[in-house]
Amino acid sequence: MKSPLVRWSVVSVSLALALTSCAKGTGGGAAAPSQSPGQFDPGAKYQGAISVMGFGATDEIGTTRVDKAKAALGGADVKLIEGDLDIQQFLSAVAAGDPPDIIYANRDQIGTFASRGAIIPLTACVQGEQIDTSMYNKNALAQVTFGDEVWGIPEFNQVQITMANAALLKKAGLTIEDVNGSNWDKVTAATKKLFSAPGGKLKVIGYDSKLPEFLPLWAKANGADLLSADGRTAQLNSPQVVKALEFAVGIYDAQGGFAKVKALRDSADFFGKGNQFATDALGAMPMEQWYVNVLNDVSPKAPLAFDTFRTPQGEPLAYSSGSAWAIPKGAKNPGAACRFAKTMTLVDTWKAAAQARLDKRNADKKPFTGILTGNVKADEEIKAMLTSGGEPWDSGVKAFYEANDHTFSLPANPADNEFKKAWQDGVNRVLNGQDKPQSSMDKAQQEAQAALDKAWAGWTKRTN
């Protein structure tokens, strides 16, 4: 005879199995519910609490704008869930039916969230709140446009420029033109002149081509896009991409290999006074524009030189990336969320934030070297507020504004993360010496295309 304990256990497990047989997703299924412009009234006042996930108003640029947004809501309390957006936490919240009211995400995440139905389209929000989308950077807006609808409101913008150590350049008889990317042979030659490895131990990185993250930049400079304009076809193993990869990896090979360069790169006090330019540990690299502000702040006397990143034809070029606001499916107060996103990115709001930064910099007797937003009109206004920091800082600021006028971005697609992972893994395999460029990018192409095909099929199934 079975003991009562065993019988009870059997009953419990049977109950669990019975429940499992009824198991279904916690999500609501297909496409996100459509909204009407009437739900987004620009005259409405909002009460209660608005939860914002992934955004920390940690400086005057953030706090000034959040204050403006609070005022625009008409009384609602804004609760910030700080730190980078935690995808696991966010999706769990959506699945559980208790999402935040608005999220702050990377623009390259928007396509995946949209295709899964985790966020709602903002067409009605844009119409109802009368948001003038023409003020946003075209590339930034394209990155958050998916299936002919806008799914995110662009926030900050990031572009790359060439940053170099002027003292090391001068000592090697070089100029910034030798390392701005306009002539790849010159970049390779300059790398060999600038790098230093006494006794085989790397002491100075001549040039850092910033792989794997900047492969799209090198590929575009060589005339290739990693992804077709419609976001459906991977182009990772095209001859131009492979050639760009060979060149950018060759830069590391010329200095003893990526492992050594990466180890030295990691050892620098990147955000502090011991940064690689101040300590003469790096000749040159392409880098995002915000680093100009960091360098100016922590090592204003470092011997720097700046230029735009240039194509072999000499044209400025930058790979645009950045952040955006999106409203989750099931958000309790989408109207307030829409108003929040709108206000955070309005020209006047950005100007107020820039003024706060300017006041702080003046108080510290330092120049205001600018910020780049996803709002082109705001960028123009802020540009007029800049204060001169003398050379080389003025050249740096000039370079990133010029770069901002010559950007490209990867189109939105429903498998952003897998696509990115595929090409980055492809580059990493080459950097680690585990594979050759062509073979590695062939594998990356297969992985990326399979992920894209599956994700697009899922999107088609959900929307038909």
Partner 1 sequence: MSASRTKAPRRRRAQWIETRAALLFISPWIIGFLVFTAWPVINSAYLSLTDYDVINDPNFVGFDNYAQLFEDPKVGLALRNTFVFTVLSVPAHIIVSLGLALLLNGATRATGFFRTAFFLPKMTPPVAVGILLLLLFNGQNGLINGFLGVFGIDGPAWTTDPAWVKPGLVLMSLWTVGSSVVIILAALRAVPQELYDSALVDGAGWWRRTLRITVPMISPTLFFLFIVNTINALQSFTEAYTAFFGSGNTTYSNDAALFYAIYLFQQAFEFLHMGYASALAWLLFLVIMAITGVQMLVTRRFVHYEGGQP
Among 51, 64, 112, 333, binds partner 1 (CB under 8 A): 112
Shortest Å distance, C-beta 180 to partner 1: 22
2 binds partner 1 (CB under 8 A): no
* φ/ψ of residue 323, rounded to 5: -115, 170
Shortest Å distance, C-beta 230 to partner 1: 21
Nearer to partner 1 (CB atom), residue 234 or residue 353: 234
- Give helix 376-383 / helix 393-404 axis angle, nearest 10°: 160
Candidate ranges 81-89, 165-173, 180-188, 228-236; the one touching partner 1 (CB under 8 A): 81-89
Nearer to partner 1 (CB atom), residue 381 or residue 418: 418
The 3-state DSSP class for residue 270 equals: coil
34 binds partner 1 (CB under 8 A): no
CA 434 distance to own-chain centroid: 28
Enter the tokens of residue 148.
């002919």
Nearer to partner 1 (CB atom), residue 6 or residue 49: 6
* φ/ψ of residue 428, rounded to 5: -60, -40
Question: Is the Cα dihedral 274, 280, 281, 287 positive or negative?
Answer: positive
Candidate ranges 14-22, 312-320, 331-339, 346-354; the one touching partner 1 (CB under 8 A): 14-22
Q: Are 143 and 121 in contact (CB under 8 A)?
A: no
Among 41, 67, 149, 213, binds partner 1 (CB under 8 A): 213
Applying the rule CB under 8 A, the residues between 296 and 355 that interact with partner 1 are 329
Write the CB contacts of 127 (distance below 8 Å, at least 6 apart in sequence): 37, 40
Please spell the DSSP secondary structure of 322-382, one letter per residue: EEEEE-BTT-S-HHHHHHHHHHHTSHHHHHHHHHHHHHHHHHTT-------BSBHHHHHHH
> Interface mask (CB under 8 A) for partner 1, residues 256-295, using x and -?
--xxx-xxx-xx----------------------------
DSSP element (H, E) containing 295: helix 290-298
Residues of the shown chain interacting with partner 1 in the complex, contacts defined by CB under 8 A: 3-5, 8, 12-13, 16-17, 19-20, 23-25, 27-30, 84, 87-88, 91-92, 94-95, 112, 116-118, 200-202, 212-213, 258-260, 262-264, 266-267, 329, 415, 417-418, 421, 424-425, 428-429, 431-434, 451, 458, 462
